[in-house]
């Protein structure tokens, strides 16, 4: 399956990165990295050097959102379990 992972517009140049996701393991890795990046941005924006509990929660929220967008969210897992 093909999914657009990132779109960036910088100085009127647009790039799109397309990644082929072949397994849940790959989707989980991408989602985990997206969560870590989001939490790191939040931490740095607040001027901290370490994550707080809120940063961990934010990383998990982003990871779950990305997994849902890739079709591996909690709803999909519930359908598979039934």
Residue 60 CB partners (closer than 8 Å, separation 6+): 35
Is-above-0.75 flag for pTM? no
Question: Residue 2 has what pLDDT?
Answer: 45
Give 49-82 pLDDT, tens digit per residue. Answer: 999 999 999 999 998 888 888 888 766 566 665 5
pLDDT at 52: 96
pLDDT of res. 15: 52
User: What tokens does 25 get?
Assistant: 């393991």
Backbone angles phi, psi at 32, to 5 degrees: -65, -45
């Amino acid at each position: 399956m093909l999914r657009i992972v990132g779109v960036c517009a910088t100085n009127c140049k647009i790039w799109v990165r397309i990644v082929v996701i072949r397994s849940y393991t790959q989707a989980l890795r991408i989602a985990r990295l997206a969560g870590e990046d989001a939490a790191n941005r939040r931490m740095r924006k607040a001027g901290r050097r370490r994550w707080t509990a809120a940063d961990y929660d934010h990383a998990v929220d982003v990871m779950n959102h990305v997994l849902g967008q890739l079709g591996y969210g909690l709803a999909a897992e519930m359908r598979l379990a039934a």
